[in-house]
Structure 1
Amino acid sequence: MISIPAVVPRIKLGSQGLDVSAQGLGCMGMSTFYGSAKPKSDMIQLIHHAVTSGVTFLDTSDFWGPHTNEILIGQALKELELRGEVELATKFGVTTKDGQVEVRGDPCYVRAACEASLSRLGVECIDLYYIHRIDIRVPIEVTMGELKKLVEEGKIKYIGLSEASANTIRRAHAVHPITALQIEWSLWCRDVEVDIISCCRELGIGIVPYSTLARGFFASGPELIQNLPEADFRKRMPRFKPENLEHNKRVYEQLIAVASRKGCSPAQLALAWVQNQGNDVSPIPGTTKIENFNQNVGALSVKLTKEEMAELESFGAANVVKGDRHGQMTYTWLNSETPPLSSWRSE
């Protein structure tokens, strides 16, 4: 296993001036979805370790908990006096109504969500504020118009999108420059390469890949699923269903062989493939353990040749992996087209 580099590189994310660590820290699993919430003291220690190691790009969302993940990050920033040392990203747009997931992008909700996140995080300004999922009932121009006002008021610095199609990105960017797109991108999730990645690069938008380790599968293989508690939502993900898992485990087995040659772990190799995509990419692998964090950051030191990149890509080609990448594909870029602005009638 390759250890943490002496200096974590930094990149310009997007073309509006946001400077971040070349790898970030996804904080979702600290509070929700991947089993029960982890002890706050341990998570604050992990955040402190990350920032002092040079990983200063922290990723959270108001939906995680809900709200408890932002509260945790806010507490860590306050206790450790880290606000000036981190690039803080959070998201809005996903909520629940009558026990069902609801996506909202109407101006009233945008503003209320931002004010609430500022309060929970205990900050005066959010560095990068993402639309977590696209509300297909509201023209993207309307949602962006309210975000633009929040930038002008100094409540957010930069605007991001998550799980947006190329067309949605272009429409949003025409209202106000988009700094970053957060999207699932990994060795076995490569549909974004068709036109979304090229769209971002054409417009000068940074790329923030999530689930780069296939939600932990590239770190642990099939044993990961066997050992998960029932409350962990990965148990219900299509690619981890028994009928697909037996087939998909071959990707992990092939990773092991190449990782052995490279002198790194399979997880480091999978993450290195994403890191080697370009200097406009800052993946945000999540973890709740310092030892796993150290392994993730070590991937920054794994350099891959064009031949090695191609070999890895052959393992995770679209026709190789079985099952959808998410249990709710409705809430992905495949379903992010919004009505035209001319259709909007504000109340």
Structure 2
Amino acid sequence: MPSSITSKPLGKNGPLVPRLGLGAMVLSGIYSTPGSDAERLKFLDEAYEKGETFWDTADEYGDSEDLLGKWFAANPSKRNDIFLATKFAIRKAPADSGTKGLQVDSSPEYCKQAIAKSLGRLGLPYVDLYYVHRVDKKTPIEKTMQAMVELKNEGKIKHIGLSECSADTIRRAHAVHAVTAVQLEYSPFCLAIEEPDIAVLKTCRELGIAVVAYSPLGNGLLTGTLRKQADWSKAGDLRGHLPWLQEDVFEHNLGVVDRIGEMAAKKGVSSAQLSLAWVLAQGDDVFAIPGTRNIHRLEENLASLDVQLSAEEEKAVRDLAQDIKGGRVQDLTGYAFAGTPALDSA
């Protein structure tokens, strides 16, 4: 365990939060059948006791908000200790839409509907950080931001965030109101945010916006625990869609993971710890939110805060990881680094 959980400002002049947060998606069965409420609430109790107080969820993560609502109801005095982030914009298609499954809706109207439902499930008057989970590519970001500003003025949210959107969208949003954080996929396997033609990392740094790295362990691949198809073919596990895990590339990618594991072993740490330390080494403005439902994995993750990488080690991990094959799963959705139309075109 680390001697203390390192906290940094979330964005320029932002609140102090732990650099390693807790992604709550996994608690709700995205990778497996969810545990009982008793088991999951006990896990949250232990996470809190260990100082893990930056919690990240979303309205589309199964029963995650309901579960957290039960925890807050049982622990009302601890609410102010938790920096709680949730998200909106990914929703079930309305019954009269003529489509099935999920759709993206970042309209001002849905934003206000969604926060009301999230606060109801959470049993709270406000959340600390509210993200636009995805932009729908048809609502100008200025309109979405204005709705978010209204929610902030009403005391329902404290900080505004974006996720998986273009650099231009970030700039236009920030011109309406300060954006505190942008959540993006970032790991040794996924460096897309650094690419000059995408430029979201550069843009966030220019504007003083924190980067919150989701999937910092490559959906579990960087833990070294995914060794065969049976490891991700359990009921409810969505990782079968990941390009990195497809049959034609998996054996190759497993070799990459093993080489990173060998480097970690020489350093006396786990593959997960080396990978998380790599993400955090990218700058004090980068935070990570690995998800887990196991307390021993949480302890392992938190211990990565004490792992220091030299410039040579950082480069070595980066170079090894770039041999990975298979693209981002987000590229399959059509919403990777999505933009929005200009305000005057709406």
TM-score, with length taken from structure 2: 0.94
- The 2-side partners of 1:166 and 1:262 are apart by 36
Equivalent position of 2:116 in the other structure? 115
1:321 aligned partner, one-letter code: I
- Given that 2:169 and 2:339 are in contact with CA atoms closer than 8 Å, whether structure 1 keeps it comes out as yes
Structure 2 counterpart of 1:124? 125
Q: Distance in 2 between matches of 1:129 and 1:342?
A: 26
1:84 to 55, 70, 80: 80
Match of 2:153 in 1: 152
Structure 1 partner of 2:284: 279
SS of the residue 1:333 aligns to? coil
Aligned pair 1:219/2:223, yes or no? yes
Q: Which runs of 5+ in 2 are unaligned?
A: 94-98
Does 2:191 correspond to 1:207?
A: no
Partner of 1:339: 341
Match of 1:52 in 2: 49
Matches within 5 A, 1:1-347: 4-65=1-62, 68-81=63-76, 82-97=78-93, 98-194=99-195, 195-223=199-227, 225-228=229-232, 229-317=234-322, 320-326=323-329, 329-334=332-337, 336-344=338-346
Contact 2:220 2:226 in 1 (8 A): no
> Hey, what's the Cα distance between the residues in 2 that align with 1:157 and 1:247?
45
C-alpha contact 1:213 1:219 (8 A) present in aligned 2: yes
Q: Distance in 1 between matches of 2:55 and 2:191?
A: 24
Paired amino acid for 1:237: L
State the alpha-carbon separation in 2 of the partners of residues 23 and 262 from structure 1.
Answer: 21
1:14–1:280 CA contact under 8 A, matched in 2: yes
Runs of 4+ with deviation above 6 angstroms? none
C-alpha offsets along residues 73-106 of structure 1, whole Å, 9 cap, x if unaligned?
Answer: 1111221332111000000000111432210011
SS of the residue corresponding to residue 20 of structure 1 reads strand
Q: Which amino acid aligns with 2:43?
A: L
CA distance in 1, matches of 2:47, 2:165: 29
**How big is the shift at 1:327?**
6.0
How far apart, in 2, do the equivalents of 1:247 and 1:165 lie?
31
Partners of 1:171 and 1:330 in 2: CA distance: 23
Q: Distance in 2 between matches of 1:93 and 1:117?
A: 12
Shift of 1:166: 1.0
Does structure 2 conserve the Cα–Cα contact (< 8 Å) formed by 1:28 and 1:64? yes
Distance 1:223 1:44 in 2: 30
Please tell me whether the aligned partners of residues 221 and 249 of structure 1 are also in contact (alpha carbons under 8 angstroms).
no
- Tell me how far apart the structure 2 counterparts of residues 223 and 164 of structure 1 sit (CA, whole Å): 32
Partner SS state of residue 9, structure 2: strand
Deviation of 1:220 after TM superposition, in Å, equals: 2.9
Contact 2:210 2:286 survives alignment (8 Å): yes
How far the C-alpha of 1:230 sits from its partner, in A, is: 4.5
C-alpha separation in 2, matches of 1:277 and 1:38? 34
| Amino acid corresponding to residue 16 of structure 2 in structure 1 | D
CA distance in 2 between counterparts of 1:50 and 1:114 reads 25
More off after superposition, 248-257 vs 264-273: 248-257
8 A contact 2:33–2:235 mirrored in 1: no
Name the amino acid aligned to 1:171. R
Q: Which amino acid aligns with 1:254?
A: R
What stretches of structure 1 of length at least 5 have no aligned partner? none
Tell me how large the CA RMSD over aligned residues is. Answer: 1.4
Asked if the contact 1:187/1:270 (under 8 Å) is kept, the reply is yes
1:238–1:327: 8 Å Cα contact kept in structure 2? no
TM-score with structure 1 setting the length: 0.93
Q: Give the partner amino acid of 1:215.
A: N
What whole-Å deviation, never above 9, does each CA across 1:214-236 have from its counterpart, x for those lacking one? 11111134426432214311012
Letter in 2 for 1:339: P
Counterpart contact for 2:29–2:236, Cα < 8 Å: no
Conservation of the 8 A alpha-carbon contact between 1:133 and 1:331: no
Which moved further from structure 2: 52-61 or 77-86? 77-86
Q: C-alpha deviations, 1:198-227, integer Å up to 9, x for none?
A: 111110101110111111111134426432
Q: CA deviation at 1:135?
A: 1.1
